[in-house]
Chains A and B, each alone.
Chain A
Amino acid sequence: MLRDIFITPFVDMVEAPDFLMQVLWEGLVSGVLYALIALGFVLIFRSSRILNFAQGIMVVFAALTLVGLHAMGLPAWIAVAATLAVMFVLAVTIERVVLRPLVGQPDIILFMATIGITLFLIGLGETIFGGENKVMITGELGIPTGDTVLEPFGGLLILQHLDITVVLVAVALVGALLAFLNYTRMGRAIRALGDDHQAALSVGISLQTIWVLVWFIAGIIALVTGIAWGARAGVSFALEVIAYKALPVLMLGGLESITGAIVGGLMIGVLEKIFEIYWGQPLLGGNTEAWFAFVLALIVLLFRPQGLFGERIIERV
C-alpha cells in the first residue's frame, strides 16, 4: 500500500515520460482556464470587495447567448461581437440595479446579491434560449479541431488543436489584462481602487466607471472560458461548475493577488490532473478532480490563511 502511494507513481512517471507530458499538458489546459476565471473574481473583489458568486453562471450565459445568437442566423464572429455587447449591457445593468443601491452595505449583503444575480441569469438564460444542451459553434468560429501527434522520448504526445488554441488565447488574454492593469490609466485606477477607496474617490476616480469596467472584463473572460469549455463539454448549465473550481484557486492564490490567480490556476490545473492519473485512478477509483482542488486549498488555508500569494500586507513599524 505504501509502495503504491510513495513509489509506484514516480516510477510510472519516469518510465513513461511521454505520458507524463501528456498529463501535464492537459493539466495546463485546464489550468489556464482556471487562472482566467480566477482573474475575473480577483478584479471584482479588489475593486468592490464582492466575491462574485455569479461568475460561473456568467460563463454559461455568455456561451448560451453566443450559440443562441448564432442559431438565430447571425454569422459566428458577428455573434461573438453581439455577445460582448450583451455582456457589456449586463455589466452596466448590474452596476445600476444591484451595486449602486447597495453601496456601503456589509459585504455579505453584496455577496447575497450576486447569488440573486446568479438565479436571475439562470432564469433568463432558460427562458430565452431553453434549457437543453447545445453544441458550441467551434467550427464556425474557425477553431481548429484536429490534433498534432508528437513523439518525444520515442513515445506519444497528442496535442488537440482545440487545446492549443485555448492555451494561446487564454495566455494572450491574461497578458493583455496584465498590460492593461499595469500600463494604462484605467488599469492603474482599478488597482488604486483596490488599495484605498477613499483616496481613489479623492483623486476623482469614479467607482461606477470602474465597477462597470471590471464586470465587463469578467464578462469577456466568461465568454472566452464559455467557448473553450463549451467546445469540449457542450453548452449546458453544468458548465457553471467550472467557475467554482476558481474558488480553490482563489484560496490558494489569495483573493487579492493577480499573480496568485494566475499561478494558483496553473498549479491547481496541473496538480489535480497528476493526482487523478497517478494516485486517484489506481488507488481511489478515480474522479478525484471533483474534490482534489478543494482539499488542497483547505490544507493551504491551514498554514497560510492569506493564500500562497495573498497580497503582502504592508505594515510599517
Chain B
Amino acid sequence: MLDAARTDEALLEVNNVEVIYNHVILVLKGVSLNVRKGGITALLGGNGAGKTTTLKAISNLLHSERGEVTKGSIVYKGERVQDLDPSALVKRGVIQVMEGRHCFQHLTVEENLMTGAYTRRDGRGAVDADLEMVYTYFPRLKERRRSQAGYTSGGEQQMTAVGRALMSRPEMILLDEPSMGLAPQLVEQIFEIVKSINENEGVSFLLAEQNTNVALRYAHQGYILENGRIVMEGTASELRENADVKEFYLGVSDEGRKSFRDVRSYRRRKRWLA
C-alpha cells in the first residue's frame, strides 16, 4: 500500500501467455495485458472466454487444476513469477479472490479474515490494525464477525473474501467475478468499496467481470477477452464509447437498445476473430 497515485508504470505484465489444461485443452491462446500501478484494470468477456484462467495463471493456482502456462511470460515488478508457488506470490503482494467467494465455511467471519494474514510476519499489532481497517471498509462484517461464514449471505461472503485478501497487505488483488449472484444494489456497493480501497490504500486491481456495464464504470483500463484472445483494449471510457462494445456487451447499438440475446455471438466472432 504505497502511494495512491496512479502511474503509467506497469505493475504486472502478461506477455503472450498460452495455457493448456490436462496437456490437451488449449484455453489461452496468447494473452497479453498490462496492469498499471494503482489502477483498476477490467478483464471483460463472456463465459469461457478465459478470464478466470488468466487470473489463475497469474496467481499460479492453475497447477492444482492440472493447468499449465506453456508459452509466454508473466512479470510482476520486473520479476518473472510464473514458476513461483501461490504462497510466494502472496508474500510478494499478489493475491486472488476467487470466483464464487470460496470462504472457509466452518470458520467464523473473523477467522476467515485472519487466514488472509497467514503469510505475514509483521506481528500481531499490525495484523490487528488491518483487521480494524477491513472492518471500516465492511462494517457489516464486524457485526457478523462471530458467525460461521457458511451461514452468511452471498454479499457478506463476497465482502469476507475481499476483506480476507486485504488482510495479506496486497499491492494487487486479482478479483474474479465479484458481481456473481449478487443483487444489483449489492454489486454497486461492492464496487464502491473496491474503488475506495483502490484510492485509499493504493491497491491495484485486475478485475474479471461479465458485468461489462458496472466494470467499465469503475475501471480505468479494460481488456476484452474472447475465446482465449485479447480482442480489444483501451481506457474504460474508450471502451464504453466503442460501437462494438456497445453492441455486443452493453446491448446498445445505433438502432437503439436491444437485448444481448439478439446479438448473435457468431457476428462478434466473425468481426473480431476472423
CB contact between A204 and one of B107, B111, B119, B150 (< 8 Å): that residue: B119
Q: Max chain B CB contacts within 10 Å: which of A200, A202, A311, A314?
A: A202
Tell me whether A314 and B151 are in contact (CB under 8 A): yes
A201-B61 contact, Cβ under 8 Å, with A185-B114, A196-B105: yes
Interface residues of A in 220-260 (CB under 8 A from B): none
Nearest CB in chain B: distance from A101 CB, A: 14
Q: Which residue of A lies closest to B64 (CB)?
A: A201
**When A and B form their complex, what is the total count of cross-chain residue pairs whose Cβ atoms lie within 8 Å?**
86
Q: Which residues of B contact A104 (CB under 8 A)?
A: 64, 66
Nearest CB in chain A: distance from B77 CB, A: 17
Tell me whether B90 and A204 are in contact (CB under 8 A): yes
The interface size bin for chain B is 20 to 34
Report if A203 contacts B (CB, 8 A).
yes
Cα distance, A204 to B117, chains bound together (Å): 9
Over the window 88-120 of chain B, the binary record of Cβ atoms lying under 8 Å from chain A Cβ atoms (1 yes, 0 no) is 011100011110001111110001101111110
Tell me whether B102 and A196 are in contact (CB under 8 A): yes
Q: Which residues of A contact B97 (CB under 8 A)?
A: 202
Over the window 201-214 of chain A, the binary record of Cβ atoms lying under 8 Å from chain B Cβ atoms (1 yes, 0 no) is 11111100000000
Cα distance, A194 to B165, chains bound together (Å): 19
Report if B32 contacts A (CB, 8 A).
no
Tell me whether B105 and A204 are in contact (CB under 8 A): no
Cα distance, A303 to B118, chains bound together (Å): 40
Report if A173 contacts B (CB, 8 A).
no
CB contact between B118 and one of A196, A198, A203, A314 (< 8 Å): that residue: A203
Report if A161 contacts B (CB, 8 A).
no
Tell me whether A314 and B64 are in contact (CB under 8 A): no
Tell me whether B104 and A195 are in contact (CB under 8 A): yes
Tell me whether A202 and B115 are in contact (CB under 8 A): no
Q: Which residue of B lies closest to A204 (CB)?
A: B90
Tell me whether B104 and A204 are in contact (CB under 8 A): no
Report if A3 contacts B (CB, 8 A).
no
Question: Assuming A103-B64, A188-B114, A202-B61, what are 10 further A-B pairs, CB within 8 angstroms?
Answer: A188-B118, A189-B115, A191-B106, A199-B102, A200-B104, A202-B98, A203-B90, A203-B119, A314-B105, A314-B106
